Amino acid sequence: MRAFSQTTEDLARQEIELPSWAFGNSGTRFKVFTQRGIPRDPFEKIADAAQVHRLTGLAPSVALHIPWDLVDDFDKLGEHARDNGVRLGTINTNTFQDDDYMFGSLCHVDQRVRAKAISHVLGCVDIMDATGSRDLKIWLPDGLNYPGQADLRDRQERLADALGQIYARLAAHQRLVLEYKLFEPAFYATDVPDWGTAYVHCLALGERAVVCLDTGHHAPHTNIEFIVMQLLRLGRLGAFDFNSRFYADDDLIVGAADPFQLFRIMTEVVRGGGCDESSEVTFMLDQCHNIEAKIPGQIRSVLNVQEMTARALLVDRAALAEAERAGDVLAANAVLMDAFYTDVRADLAAWRESRGLPADPLAAFRASGYAERVAAERVGGTQAGWGA
Ligand code: LRH
Ligand code: MN
Ligand code: MN
């Protein structure tokens, strides 16, 4: 196995983008539990996100969701982010919270609704111009609940046309990141249900169209690391939305349900060059903390990603290749499992300290008094929530 010291150069480059919406109140459709000290606007969300970066050194950017994070002055929001030691990242579109979108958005049969959705997305590109964001992330709620409800094929044509209009508006440094999802809100058929569909649309658009893999958006038992491998191989893995799932799109803390799966994913990321200096993969969280505290939840999440990345970097690739060549199945498997079973937490804590970061970021957050301070300060106004 490689030594921990051989992994730190790669680890030092790791950046995990935080979703602004992780800091707002959230829940299921049964109940949203409100917490104290929740941000009331995008500025306060960014201040909270900055705490995660301050204590872990892992999260220098914050993804925004429009219109949840709509502000009058994005220059000011960017400046506020910089003052807090972070920057604005991916801009996420939202064509799923308007009555007009009951039967879809970019795939809608009605030209008026399609035009409205396209105009929203183009507005998001205007925001990217102001924030300096590279990535425009599109996830669509489009789909059918019942067979025959709409023409599956026509919807693909409309989607291709709409994406083409959007792609044409991007500047040379900007990317269109298309996110797929197996089901929900549509239950019979989704218009971008899988990586293959996202990939064919990206391929038709051009090189700056890439796929977002949300780890919660697959059928049970899907081999997600295979998809990671394939998209990296094809040069089209644009971004991750990390979270973990026990059942469907649970949006729970990444690595909580299946740390081994996260390890296998990160192993393919490393193998495919996703951790290299030249990598353009955005590692984002897409999570909601329904019953746990938000900032510590995000700290736990980025540390989980870091821990499984470190373990993946421990894999002795030469020994693995040798065992694979020799057809020594057990030896090859053991190379991976040795790395997976290595507890890197103490090494990471010591390494963090050597870089001027707290050995235990969660304890440091508790000791900082930040949670108590914002709970006292943030009175009045409306707390942010998923969907607002
Ligand atoms: C859809 C999704 C998508 C949205 C986010 C809030 O389930 O994963 O990324 O933008 O949730
Ligand atoms: Mn997502
Ligand atoms: Mn999701």
Question: How confident is the model over 350-354, as a mean pLDDT?
Answer: 98
Residue 385's pLDDT band (boundaries 50, 70, 90)? confident
Measured between alpha carbons, how far is 150 from 328 in angstroms, rounded to an integer? 52
Compute, in angstroms, the gap from residue 288 CA to the centroid of ligand 1. 10
Query: Mean per-residue pLDDT for 69-94?
Result: 98
Q: What is the pLDDT of residues 162-218, one digit of tens each?
A: 999 999 999 999 999 999 999 999 999 999 999 999 999 999 999 999 999 999 999
What spacing in Å lies between the alpha carbon of 5 and ligand 3's midpoint? Answer: 36
Q: Is 224 within the bounds of a domain?
A: yes
How far does residue 146's CA lie from ligand 3's centre (Å)?
22
C-alpha dist (Å) from residue 26 to 31, 32, 70, 243: 8, 5, 19, 15
Note the pLDDT tens digit of each residue in 116-161.
999 999 999 999 999 999 999 999 999 999 999 999 999 999 999 9
134 lines ligand 1 (CB under 6 A): no
**CA proximity to 151, closest of 106, 107, 196, 193:** 107
335 lies in a domain?
no
Contact 88/62 with Cβ under 8 angstroms? yes
- By the CB criterion, residues less than 5 angstroms from ion ligand 3 are 249
Asked if residue 92 has its Cβ within 6 Å of ligand 1, the reply is yes
Q: What is the mean pLDDT of residues 322-327?
A: 98
| Host domain of residue 203 | 15-314
> Which residue, among 261, 262, 260, 243, has the nearest Cα to 252 in the 3D structure?
243
For residue 250, is it within any domain?
Answer: yes
Q: Does the residue 142 lie in any domain? A: yes
Tell me how long the chain is: 388
CATH number for the domain harbouring residue 163: 3.20.20.150
Mutational pocket test of ligand 1: of 20, 241, 245, the residue with most ligand atoms within 8 Å of the beta carbon = 241
Residues 6+ apart with CB under 8 A from 189: 143, 144, 147, 152
Ligand 1: does its nearest atom lie under 6 Å from the Cβ of 249? yes
Structure confidence by residue, pLDDT tens digits, 13-70: 999 999 999 999 999 999 999 999 999 999 999 999 999 999 999 999 999 999 999 9
Q: What are phi and psi of 188, to 5 degrees?
A: -90, -55
Closest of 140, 216, 227 to residue 176, by C-alpha = 140
Q: Is residue 341 part of a domain?
A: no
Percent of the chain past pLDDT 90, that is, above it, reads: 98
ipTM of the complex: 0.99
In this structure, the residue with its CA closest to atom 6 of ligand 1 is 286
At residue 307, the 3 state secondary structure works out as: helix
Evaluate whether residue 1 is within a structural domain. no
> Count of domains in the chain?
1
Q: Specify whether the CB–CB gap between 63 and 90 falls below 8 A.
A: yes
Report if residue 376 sits inside a domain.
Answer: no
Residue 382 lies in a domain: no
What is the residue whose two structure tokens read 């999440």? Answer: 301
4 lines ligand 1 (CB under 6 A): no
